[in-house]
Structure 1
Amino acid sequence: MRQPAGRSARRSGGERKPREERWAELIEVATQVFYEKGYDGASLQDIADRLGMLKGSLYYYIQSKEELLFDVISTVHRDGLAVIRARAEVEGDPLQRLENVIVGHVEHTCRNLVPTAVFLHELSALPPERRQEVLGSEHAYQGVFRDLIELAQKEGLVRADLDPRLGALTVLGSTNWVYRWFRPGGAFTPEKIGAQMAEIAIRGIATQKALAARYP
């Protein structure tokens, strides 16, 4: 866990919550406030009030509102990346693993609508160098999709004329949009949405031979 600069990780007495618990609560509350008010409209006072603490006490954990947004955005990105990386490692050919990744990404998005919205809406509020720090020099999240498409191409499972980066961006663009229209408890479950979006994506990029084997 990131340690705010110049702060001790030790608790004073028995009154302060354990650092890990309080930090997780701060990230959760800040995410909700940024979602409700937007980064520009939210203040540290709003977040402190929601936490039931003095605004000055926030500086035990953070240095600024921008730094807090960076931590929120980083947490969302890290959690989502862990999900799709785990899905990418499931046994199977690259096309099957790509399908697993798409399903995992969609289901994770549906179950984390508020963090996803904050990430997609407020990432641009960070300076370019901080955005790059979150995403990684090789755009790690996008890279999971791109690498699997490239592997599938080498095995003749994805059309040779498809640009892997463009394919990855297309899949991510369509699946990310789920956060705008998915409603918990609605007609479509995360599992159903994930399965159908994955099939649509695979049908759009796979070779005829691969499609014949997958959907006889």
Structure 2
Amino acid sequence: MRQPAGRSARRSGGERKPREERWAELIEVATQVFYEKGYDGASLQDIADRLGMLKGSLYYYIQSKEDLLFDVISAVHKQGLEVVRGRADVPGGPLDKLESVIVGHVEHTCRNLVPTAVFLHELSALPVERREEILGSEHAYQGVFRDLVEQGQAAGQVRADLDPRLAALSILGSTNWVYRWFRPGGTFTPEQIGAEMAEMAIRGIATEDVLKARTA
């Protein structure tokens, strides 16, 4: 998180909330407003009104609306990346780890529908260089999936004829789409969706020997 110079633990004078708490509230409110109105339709005045503060006070934290969108999307990406990296750090072979990552990604998406929608819808509103700053030159999030596919190929668990990047994009594309149709309290739970999508993805890339072993 970027922090304005001179930010201290608490606001001065009559300000009531610690600055880190206010910053977290700003990110949460901005995320909701961008979700409801879209980046183009949202204004800093909308966000300030929702926070109950003067528009001018926002400039203590940010320099522009684009600056705020950058911070919102950065926060979403960072949280998701922490989830998938954590889920990759489990015992087992590459496909065990990939299955864990897919389940974690899907469950995280289902439980964070609004931030996910803002990330997927509004990332393109940022200039290319700012998008790359968030995603990383190697697209770190996608890289977790791609690396596990490559490791699976090296271990003889994933079909050698597959392109790891394309396989990773296919898995991410299908799992990302969950945010469009998942409804909390609906027919399917995040756990069920994650488990079934992971099973379908693994079956789509695994070697015949692995598939036989999984059904044995």
Band the TM-score falls in, shorter-chain normalisation: over 0.9
Q: Normalised by the size of structure 2, how large is the TM-score?
A: 0.97
Any conservation in 2 of the 1:7–1:60 contact (CA below 8 Å)? no
Q: Once the 2 structures are TM-superposed, how far is the Cα of residue 184 of structure 1 from its aligned partner?
A: 0.3
Instruction: Please list every run of 5 or more consecutive structure 2 residues that lacks an aligned counterpart in the other structure.
Output: none
Residue identity matched to 2:83: V
Greater mean alpha carbon deviation, residues 142-151 or residues 205-214: 205-214
Shift in Å, 1:17: 1.0
- The answer for the alignment partner of 1:141 in structure 2 is 141
* Counterpart contact for 2:30–2:47, Cα < 8 Å: yes
Residue of structure 1 equivalent to 2:95: 95
Match of 1:104 in 2: 104
Instruction: Give the Å deviation of 1:9.
Output: 2.9
Q: Whole-Å Cα distance in 2 between the matches of residues 146 and 140 of structure 1?
A: 10
Contact 2:157–2:206 (8 Å) recurs in 1: yes
Report the RMSD for the aligned CA atoms in angstroms: 1.0
Distance 2:191 2:203 in 1: 18
Letter in 1 for 2:149: I
- Report the counterpart of residue 120 of structure 1 in structure 2: 120
| Pair 1:56 & 2:56 matched | yes
Query: Deviations for 1:88-121, whole angstroms, at most 9, x for unmatched residues?
Result: 0111100000000000000000000000000000
TM-score where L is the length of structure 1:
0.97
More displaced 10-residue stretch of structure 1: 15-24 or 170-179: 15-24
How far residue 15 of structure 1 moved from its aligned partner, in angstroms, is: 2.3
Distance 1:19 1:32 in 2: 20
Matches within 5 A, 1:17-28: 17-28=17-28
Give the CA deviation at 1:8. 3.2
Match of 2:8 in 1: 9
Deviation at 1:7, TM superposition (A): 4.7
Equivalent runs, 1:183-202 vs 2, <5 Å: 183-202=183-202
Across the two proteins, how many residue pairs are aligned to each other? 215
Shift, 1:50, TM fit? 0.2
Q: Mean alpha-carbon deviation: is it higher for 47-56 or for 16-25?
A: 16-25
Q: Assess if the C-alpha contact under 8 Å between 1:106 and 1:176 holds in 2.
A: yes
**Identity across matched positions, percent:** 81
1:206 and 2:206 matched: yes
Separation in 1, partners of 2:16, 2:147: 45
- Name the CA distance, whole Å, in 1 between partners of 2:191 and 2:14: 44
Amino acid at match of 2:183: R
- Residues 112-163 of structure 1, C-alpha deviation per residue, up to 9 Å, x if partnerless? 0000000000000000000000100100000000000000100000000010
* Cα separation, 2, equivalents of 1:179 and 1:128: 24
- What residue number does 1:150 align with? 150
Deviation string, structure 1 residues 55-95 (Cα, Å, up to 9, x no partner): 00001111110000000000000000000000001111000
Contact residue 7 and residue 61 of structure 1 kept, 8 A: no
Is the counterpart of residue 159 in structure 1 residue 159 in structure 2?
Answer: yes
* 1:31 to 2:31 alignment: yes
Runs of 4+ residues deviating >6 angstroms: none
User: What's 1:85 paired with?
Assistant: 85
User: How many angstroms apart in 2 are the aligned matches of 1:14 and 1:34?
Assistant: 30
